[in-house]
Structure 1
Amino acid sequence: MRKKELLDVIGIGIGPYNLSLAALIEEKTDLNAKFFDQTSQFEWHPGMLIDLTDLQVPFIADLVTFANPKSQYSFLNYLHSQNRMYQFFFFHRLEIPRQEYNHYAQWVVEQLSSCYFDYEVIDVMEEGNCYKVVVRDNGTHKVTEYYSRHVVLGTGTKPLVLEGMSGLPQEDVHHTSHYLFHKDTTVKGSVITIIGSGQSAAEVFYDLLKEQDKHEYHLTWLTRSEGILQLESSKLGQEFFAPDYIDYFHQLSFNQRIAALDTLDHLRNGIDPVTLNNIYNILYNRSIGDKKDNITIQPLTEIEEIFKIEEGYSLKCRQWQVEQSFQYESDKVILATGYIPNIPSWFNNRFGEKIQWEDEKRFKVSRDYKLVYKDEKEHSRSHHFYTLKNLEHSHGAGATNLGLAVDRNIQVINDIAREEVYPLQRNTIFSQFTMDQDS
Structure 2
Amino acid sequence: MVKRLFDTFHLDPPKILVLGFALIIFLGAFLLTLPAATVDGLGLSWLNALFTATSATCVTGLVVVDTGSTFTLFGQLVILSLIQVGGLGFMTFSTFFAFLVGKRISLRERLLLQESLNQVSMEGVVRLARRIMLFTIAIESAGGLLLGWRFSFDMPAGRAFYYGFFHSISNFNNAGFDLMGDFASLTYYVEDPLVNLVVCTLIILGGIGFIVMSELYEYRHTKRLSLHAKVVLATTAFLLAFGTVLIFLMEYTNPKTLQPLSLVGKVLASLYQSVTPRTAGSNTLSIGDLQQTTLLLIIFLMFIGASPGSTGGGIKTTTFATLLGAVFSQIRGKEDVIFFRQRILPSMIYKSLTVTVSGLFVVMLVTMLLTVTERGIDFLMILFEATSAFATTGLSMGLTPHLSPIGKIIIMLTMFAGRLGPLTIAFALAQRKQKEYFRYPKGKIMIG
TM-score (norm 1): 0.30
Q: Which has the larger radius of gyration?
A: 1
Structure with the largest fraction of helix: 2
Q: What is the TM-score of this pair, normalised by structure 2?
A: 0.30
Higher percent of residues as strand: 1
Q: Which has the higher contact order (CA 8 A, sep 6+)?
A: 1
